[in-house]
Amino acid sequence: MIVAENLTRVYTMGRVEVRALAGVSLEVAKGEFVGIMGASGSGKSTLLHILGLLDRPTSGRVTIDGTDVLALSDHRRTLFRLNRLGYVFQDYALIGELTALENVYLTSLVRGASKTEYLERSTDILRRVGLGDRMDHRQSELSGGEQQRVAIARALVNNPSILLADEPCANLDSQTSKSILDLFARLNEELDQTIVMVSHEDWHKEYFCRIVTLRDGLIGEMVECRKEPHPGGGA
Amino acid sequence: MTAVFSGIKVSAFLAWKSIQRGSRGTLALTIMIIALIFVNLVFLPSIISGVVVTFDAQSIDFDVGNLVIEPREGSRYIDDADSLQKKVEQIPGITGTSPRITAGATFFYRGRNAASTLYGITPEDERSVTRIAEYMTAGEFLSNGDTDSIIIGATLAGMEGEEEGGLPSLQGVEVGDSVEVAYPNGLARTYRVKGIFETQSFGVDTAAFVTTREMSEVLGLDNQASAILVKTAVNGREEEYKREILSYGVQEDVLTFREKSGGFVEQAIQSFNIINAISTLVSLIIAIVVVFIVIFINTVNRRRQIGILKAIGIDQQIIINSYVLQVLFITAVGALAGIGLNAAVTTYLTAYPLVFPGGPVYPDVEASAILRSIASLFAVSVVAGYIPAWRIAREDILTAIRG
Ligand SMILES: Nc1ncnc2c1ncn2[C@@H]1O[C@H](COP(=O)(O)OP(=O)(O)OP(=O)(O)O)[C@@H](O)[C@H]1O
Ligand SMILES: [Mg+2]
């Protein structure tokens, strides 16, 4: 369960202050699949960064499963990201020196998985995002959509209890987008994974339990969508 | 514990990928600079040590042996030299003794003259201590019975028409020539030159030798010596032998070859050590700067990557360690290359040695100098690599990722 209370995030650039978040409160229950929508610049990425422990709000509180994550030391926050979170960056954020496979298994290596274990898991997840034949390619040898799918595979490889995805399908065709969303839905169902995903596409809505729309750093509206599992999940 | 271990594994993984896939040129250049610094660290001490070895060997082999026994305070000669010689020769580990008479003499040859030192020696005894007999460039060494023969150092003998700069030279004495010697007591003798020797030790090459028998007769001495040279089985234990000789009840002064050289070598070593310390300091500063710059550029170029690593849950210590491991790798390969390079330089200088006033100097690479250089290189580069890595790894994640 993620609880964010009254989050603000103010960027000061010289004399100008940008209020990227102006007081956002949000609760995400365990196993929920939440979509965050809103215009460009409305604060979606900023919110996700804070929920993903990559940034600290100017004010407000965030607790995850009862832990006040803002009170944690940098070291604890790093461990929290490693062990509990999966994060898909809007700009993929792959390590250029590593191949697709190495990018994906790196965090498993850090978590102390055995070689057979992390190789098996990372090849499996790369196949599931359709990159079975691109594993030894490096970032410069992959298309934008392929890089995005490597980033998705990296976020999923350790079966994190919370997945935060910042427009994970922005560079994918609708067919591939659908397969990725089906994969998310299945993980959400089978592993009771909590997912918070930023999206621009209207047709993604059918996958979400709830849609949170941001407007100028504030929650504009919050819509409950479905109670039943998505047809793409569970199957 | 397992966390530490897997942490090191990840650091090693990242370091290796970075070396493997980073710029080959920069890597090679850095390794080469480290190798050159290593050579610089080892080379000078090896030459200094080589100079000392040469000075010592020259002193022992040609000049004074390992130890010298000299007349006690106030006496000009050691009396009853024979029995003192026998007494010292009994001491285990002493392999030879040679009594010498020393006199300042003037040498005359074809209208030219030169003042230098004349020694009276017992040739058989002298052979048991010094190696002058092995360094005859012309003619032969003296024999015990010779009374009308002299052997002359190459510098004193000199060359036809050549002015030796400040050193005594008769300019062209050859074997078979006659040389007149004026002794300090006013007597003069003419000797036939039996041999010419060249030891490269200038104090020896400017001197001349006749037999003790001849010199005692001219100076009116009986079983007396100006000094007794002592040769020991092994070099480097002169202080022990000195104590041993004194414990046998020897009343005369006993000096090690170092003491005999009057602190000259010590002084030279001290000056060399100052030069060496400065050179070492400069080398290490260069090493610090080079490693710092390389790792600094490396980390600045990888700011985004470092931010991403932190974002996906990799502890900053693991990231810093990956740079430290890269530095260790570069230093290790650099030191290895340096050892190779140094071996090449040493081999060359052994085949074509540097020539010093004391003779040819061979680089004397001491294992301790190599170990010290490796240790200081590692210490310096780890520090120089750690600091820039630490600075960048501390940066805020999103700032780093945005680049
Ligand atoms: N580092 C920063 N410094 C200054 N302003 C920033 C910074 N990051 C974001 N902003 C501002 O904060 C606001 C919210 O940005 P954010 O990235 O959260 O938008 P977004 O909703 O994710 O937009 P998009 O859909 O285009 O990704 C924007 O106006 C942006 O200009
Ligand atoms: Mg965004």
Mean pLDDT score, A172-191: 93
Measuring CA to CA, which residue among B225, B230, B234, B280 is closest to residue B255?
B230
Q: CA B294 to CA B299: how far, in whole Å?
A: 9
A30-34, B12-16, B27-31, B162-166: least confident range: B162-166
Mean pLDDT of B280-299: 89
Residues B302 and B325 in one domain: yes
- DSSP for chain A reads -EEEEEEEEEEEETTEEEEEEEEEEEEE-TT-EEEEEE-TTSSHHHHHHHHTTSS--SEEEEEETTEEGGGS-HHHHHHHHHHHEEEE-TT----TTSBHHHHHHHHHHHTT--HHHHHHHHHHHHHHTT-TT-TT-BGGGS-HHHHHHHHHHHHHTT--SEEEEESTTTTS-HHHHHHHHHHHHHHHHHS--EEEEE---GGGGGG-SEEEEEETTEEEEEEE--SSPPTTS--
Q: Is residue B240 part of a domain?
A: no
DSSP readout, A151-163? HHHHHHTT--SEE
Q: What are phi and psi of B256, to 5 degrees?
A: -80, 165
Name, in order, each residue with C-beta under 8 angstroms of B262's C-beta and a sequence gap of 6 or more.
Answer: none
Report the atom number in ligand 1 closest to the C-alpha of A217. Answer: 14
Q: Out of B305, B315, B398, whose CB is closest to A49?
A: B398
Which tokens is B164 given? 């030796």
Residue type, B261: S
> Does a structural domain hold residue A141?
no
A126 lies in a domain?
no
Taking an 8 Å cut-off on Cβ atoms, the answer to whether B314 and A75 are in contact is: no
Do B270 and B152 lie in one domain? The reply is no
pLDDT bin (cut points 50, 70, 90) of residue A106 is very high
Residue of minimum CA distance from atom 2 in ligand 1: A11
- In the structure encoding, which two tokens stand for residue B87, read together? 């007494």
Q: Is the confidence at residue A227, as pLDDT, over 80?
A: no
User: Worst-scoring range by mean pLDDT, A73-77, B43-47, B205-209?
Assistant: B43-47
Residue B260 lies in a domain: no
Among B185, B214, B234, identify where a domain stops.
Answer: B234
Position B159 scores a pLDDT of 86
According to DSSP, the β-strands at B94-109 and B136-139 are: unpaired
In this prediction, residue A234 carries a pLDDT of 45
3-state secondary structure chain B: CHHHHHHHHHHHHHHHHHHHHCCHHHHHHHHHHHHHHHHHHHHHHHHHHHHHHHHHHHHHHHHCECEEEECCCCCCCECCHHHHHHHHHHCCCEEEEEEEEEEEEEEEECCEEEEEEEEEECHHHHHHHCCHHHHEEEECCCCCCCCCEEEEEHHHHCCCCCCCCCCCCCCCCCCCCEEEEECCCCCEEEEEEEEEECCCCHHHHCCEEEEHHHHHHHHCCCCCECEEEEEECCCCCHHHHHHHHHHCCCCCEEEEHHHHCCCHHHHHHHHHHHHHHHHHHHHHHHHHHHHHHHHHHHHHHCHHHHHHHHHCCCCHHHHHHHHHHHHHHHHHHHHHHHHHHHHHHHHHHHHCCEEECCEEECCCCCHHHHHHHHHHHHHHHHHHHHHHHHHHHCCCHHHHHHC
B111 pLDDT exceeds 50? yes
Spatial separation of the C-alpha atoms in residues B250 and B253, rounded to whole Å: 8
Q: Is B246 inside any structural domain?
A: no
This prediction's pTM = 0.81
Residue corresponding to tokens 């999966």: A86
What is this model's ipTM? 0.94
Our measurement of the distance from residue B79's CA atom to the centroid of its chain's CA atoms, rounded to an integer in Å, reads 37
What token pair was written down for B4? Answer: 């530490």
The one-letter code for the residue type at A55 is D
Give per-residue burial for B274-291: e unless 16+ CB within 10 Å, then b: eebeeebeebbebbbebb
* Domain extent at residue B204: 67-234
Q: Is the pLDDT of residue A154 over 60?
A: yes
How does residue B3 score in pLDDT terms, banded at 50, 70 and 90?
A: low
Confidence of residue B2 (pLDDT cuts 50, 70, 90): low
Region B16-41: what's the mean pLDDT? Answer: 91
Which residues of chain B are within 8 Å of residue A79 when distances are taken between CB atoms? 313, 315
Which residues, other chains included, contact A32 with Cβ-Cβ below 8 Å and sequence gap of 6+? A194, A195, A209, A210
Q: Is the dihedral of CA B364, B365, B368, B373 positive or negative?
A: positive
- The more confident residue out of B295 and A136 is A136
The domain total for chain A is 1
pLDDT at A210: 94
Identify all chain B residues contacting A96, using CB atoms and an 8 Å cutoff. 305
When pLDDT is cut at 50, 70 and 90, the band that residue A232 belongs to is low
If you average pLDDT over every residue of chain A, what do you get?
Answer: 93
Q: Is pLDDT of A228 > 80?
A: no
B222 in the same domain as B75:
yes
| pLDDT at position B134 over 80 | yes
Percent above pLDDT 90 for chain B? 69
Instruction: Give the count of Cβ contacts less than 8 A between chain A and B.
Output: 69
B369/B292 same-domain check: yes
Would you state the pLDDT for residue B290?
87
Mean pLDDT of A29-56: 96
Question: What is the C-alpha to C-alpha distance for residues B57 and B74, in angstroms, rounded to an integer?
Answer: 31
Residue A160 has pLDDT above 60, yes or no: yes
Residue with CA at minimum distance from ligand 1 atom 11: A20
Please work out whether the CB of residue A18 comes within 6 Å of at least one atom of ligand 1: yes
B384 and B284 in a common domain: yes
User: Domain check: are B224 and B153 in the same one?
Assistant: yes
- Greatest alpha-carbon span in chain B: 100
Rounded to whole angstroms, the Cα distance separating B208 from B197 reads 9
pLDDT band at residue A235 under the 50/70/90 scheme: very low
Residue B103 confidence (pLDDT): 96
Residue B184 lies in a domain: yes
Distance CA B54, CA B386 (A): 43
The label of the residue with tokens 């012309």 reads: B138
For chain B, percent of residues with pLDDT exceeding 70: 98
A108 lines ligand 1 (CB under 6 A): no
Task: Please give the pLDDT value at position B22.
Answer: 87
State how far Cα B91 lies from the chain centre. 30
Q: Closest chain A residue to B5 measured between Cα atoms?
A: A112
The reply to whether B261 falls in a domain is: no
The torsion angles phi and psi of B263, rounded to 5 degrees, stand at 75, 0
Q: How far apart are CA B220 and CA A234, in angstroms?
A: 123
Residue of B nearest to A164 (CA): B312
In this structure, the answer to whether residues B76 and B210 fall within a common structural domain is yes
The alpha carbons of chain B give a radius of gyration, in whole angstroms, of: 32
Are B102 and B229 in the same domain? yes
Same domain, B301 and B344: yes
Residue at B206: amino acid letter:
T
Nearest residue (by CA) to ligand 1, atom 16, is A43
**Are B51 and B84 members of one domain?**
no
Q: What pLDDT score does A177 carry?
A: 94
Q: Which of A199-213, B82-96, B256-270 has the lowest mean pLDDT?
A: B256-270
What is the band of A207 on the pLDDT scale with cuts at 50, 70, 90?
very high
Are B289 and B361 members of one domain?
yes
Task: Please report where in the chains the tokens 């998505």 appear, as a residue.
Answer: A230
Find the A13 Cα to ligand 1 centroid distance in Å.
Answer: 13
Please tell me the number of Cα atoms within 13 Å of B357 on its side-chain side: 7
Instruction: Kindly report the CATH number assigned to the domain that includes residue A17.
Output: 3.40.50.300
Tokens for A39, please give them.
């215009």
User: Is residue B242 situated within a structural domain?
Assistant: no
Q: What is the mean pLDDT of chain B?
A: 91
Confidence of residue B4 (pLDDT cuts 50, 70, 90): low
- Give the C-alpha separation, A102 to B10, whole Å: 11
Which residue range is the domain that position A205 belongs to?
A: 2-93+160-233
- CA B271 – ligand 2 centroid, Å: 68
How many domains does chain B fold into?
2
Pairing of strands B178-182, B94-109: antiparallel
Average pLDDT over residues B88-107: 95
Q: Is the pLDDT of residue B265 over 80?
A: no
How many CB atoms neighbour CB A11 within 10 A?
Answer: 11
CA–CA distance, A10 with A198 (Å, rounded to integer)? 20
Instruction: Indicate which residue's Cα is closest to atom 25 of ligand 1.
Output: A40
**Residue B101 sits in the same domain as residue B230:** yes
Structure tokens at A38: 């809103």
Which residue of chain B has the CA closest to A111?
B6
Would residue B221 count as lying in a domain? Answer: yes
